[in-house]
Amino acid sequence: MTALWVVIPAYQEEARIEGALHALAAQLDRDFTLLVVDNASTDTTTAKVRAFAERAPFPVEVLTEAEKGVGCAVDTGFRHAIANGALLLARTDADCLPQPGWTAAARAGLHRCGGLVCGRITARHDEHGPLGRTVFHLLVALGAGFGRVRPAHRRRHGYLTPYRMHSGNNMAITAELYQAVGGMPRRPSPTDRTFINRVRRHTTAIVHRRDMVVQNSTRRIRAYGLLGTARWYLERGAGRRGVDVR
């Protein structure tokens, strides 16, 4: 059993899950177990994962989490991995494309800091043209900047380290730290800010690696529009829309 597990929460992802799976199969470091946690999909998401598992270059497991919410799926997946021997945990999403050095960078970062590693997200090149990708990067920068200046994130509130925006679709954490902070909030997105703040109250062992890269889907821009997406990346939720475009 490998010490590193990669967890992917998925819901109704039949159109995109194969891209994520193939990106993981192309990793330079393939010494990991993949766990896909299906959030009670009604499409062919799990069937595609099981078909991939038959030829995958690493062990693949599938769990079903009936309780709705990406936080529920991630928490169930991480705890299952830990119960089965995982010491290192990495997460991406079913609509993302981890770049070939992703798992190697995650492993190296965890061994170096012994805590939480945050990676760099870029826009997928197959969903929008240059303008859409530029808008995506501007929205991410807006969210990151807001997080740094937000009064509630200042260290006087008990945080041990300055705030840095953490993307749940590109993160890695030790099993020990995950359990120590109480795990991922078991609720729908957005959960990232709550989780990073749990970690910030517990440790300074948080690093950012620019070589830990994931191409992120830009479909939220199409689904929510610019203002709705800005609201999302400011972690204000989805407004009147559903909690997740998935």
- Measured distance CA(83)–CA(81) in Å, rounded: 5
According to DSSP, residue 153 is labeled: G
Give residue-wise pLDDT tens across range 82-130. 999 999 999 999 999 999 999 999 999 999 999 999 999 999 988 878 8
Residue 142 pLDDT more than 70? no
Confidence of residue 133 (pLDDT cuts 50, 70, 90): confident
pTM for this entry: 0.86
Confidence of residue 218 (pLDDT cuts 50, 70, 90): confident
Q: Which of 47, 173, 71, 66 is nearest to 115 (CA)?
A: 173
Q: 4-233 domain in CATH 3.90.550.10? A: yes
Residue 25 pLDDT more than 60? yes
Stretch 54-80: mean pLDDT, rounded? 97
pLDDT at position 245: 39
pLDDT at position 152: 73
Q: Which of 68, 43, 55 is nearest to 244 (CA)?
A: 68
Stretch 27-37: mean pLDDT, rounded? 98
Residue 147 pLDDT more than 70? no
Parse the chain into domains and list their residue ranges.
4-233
